[in-house]
Every structure is written in C-alpha cells, then in structure tokens.
Amino acid sequence: MLSIGMSVLSLSRFQFAMTTVFHFFFVPFSIGLAFIVAVMETLYVVKRDETYRRMSQFWGKIFLYSFAVGVVTGIIQEFQFGMNWSEYSRFMGDIFGAPLAIEALAAFFLESTFIGLWMFTWDRFKPGIHALFIWLVAFGSTLSAVWILAANSFMQNPVGFAINTKTGRVVMTDFAQVVTNPQLWLEFPHVIMGAGVTASFVIAGASAWRLLKKDHESFYRKSLNVA
C-alpha cells in the first residue's frame, strides 16, 4: 500500500529518528552554551569589562533561540511517544514516565523560570545576582539531562522493575536503582562533555570567522578565548 515500499513500522522509526536527531542537534548545544554564557557573565561581574556583558547578551540570544527550538522539537517527540509508539508507552509508561515527569516538573521549570528572569532583568538586579540566574539555568539544563538520560539508560540496561502479569505492564520496584543505574553514569558525563565541546566549537568557529573579517576584533577574540 505504501508507494515508497516502506512498512508502517519503518516509517514510524524514520519519523521518530528525524525528530530525535533534530532535537538532539539543539539540546547539547543549549546545555553547553548556557554554561559558557554563565562564564562570560561571571567574567563581567569580576572584571567589570563591558565587553563581557555584550558577549553574554549576544551569545545569550543564540542560546535562547537554540533553547526554544529544543523545546518545540521536544514537544513533538513527546507526542510521537504516544502516537508512533503507543504500545510501548502503555507497557513502559509507569517507569519510563517517572523520570520524564520529574524532568518537566523540576528541571524544566527551573530553567524556564530563571531564563525569564535572566532575559528581562539586565538592569533590575545587581550584576552578581543577575549572573546567578544564568548559572541556575545552566544547572537546570544539566539536571534535565540527568532525568532524560535516566529514562534512556533504563532502555539500555533495565533495573528496578517488575512486570505485572495481570496488567501486562512494567512497574517500578526500586526508584533508587533507576537513578543509580551504571548505564546512566556512563552516559551522563559523555553527554555533558559533548555539550560543552559542541557549544565551544560553535562559538570558536563563529568568532574565528569574524576575526578573519577583522570585525569587532576585541569582542570576538575574547569570545574565542572563553570558548
């Protein structure tokens, strides 16, 4: 029936893969960029050099765009859990949904709240307090990664669960095992280091290009140094 010769399963896999890949282009970049912007603003607080403030604002805008795209693609991904993989969601929902719910209710709300405060209060708080906001955003982003990777790690190495034979569903038996899953603590440093490297390379590459063009050399040289 499918003119391109693919099964529904193959199309579902392809669609979800494209959503996940596109989502993951922006998420590590956002995590790493939040940390780098926090470093830039901290340098402004310490050195009182206006260049670092302008750097924080400039690269912070790119962070905001990246964060917004990450959120939008993440919402699409959540819908696909229920639409493309509804049987999986029914079978695994009791345990797979827990870390995703904690990520949304704790980490994402922390990020969202302090992103708003950071965006709109540049001249309303002392520089040190304002810098604290972006550090909390960076912390929230890292915390988000922990909970998302906890769900991913369970898929790679299932622990702390049992199968309810009456309902035919997986149930969580030990939350501590889920969050201390050895797979999680292999994945987490890998992802966080990758996020930092990704954001650093983007800033370094963009800064190097502008330096070649002899454009705002002090600004981009300092950006390159931080990256």
Measured CA to CA, the distance from residue 187 to residue 181 in angstroms comes to 10
Mean of the pLDDT values across residues 5-31?
87
Angle between helix 8-47 and 184-212 (nearest 10) = 60
DSSP 51-100: HHHHHHHHHHHHHHHHHHHHHHHHHHHHHHHHHTSHHHHHHHHHHHHHHH
Domain spans of the chain, in order of start: 8-226
Q: Name the pLDDT band for 207 (thresholds 50, 70, 90).
A: very high
- Return the sign of the alpha-carbon dihedral for residues 187, 192, 196, 198: positive
Confidence of residue 5 (pLDDT cuts 50, 70, 90): low
> Tell me: the pLDDT tens digits for 95-153?
888 898 899 888 889 999 999 999 999 999 999 999 999 999 999 999 999 999 999 99
- On average, the pLDDT of the chain sits at 92
| pTM, 2 dp | 0.90
Q: What tokens were used for 220?
A: 């981009």
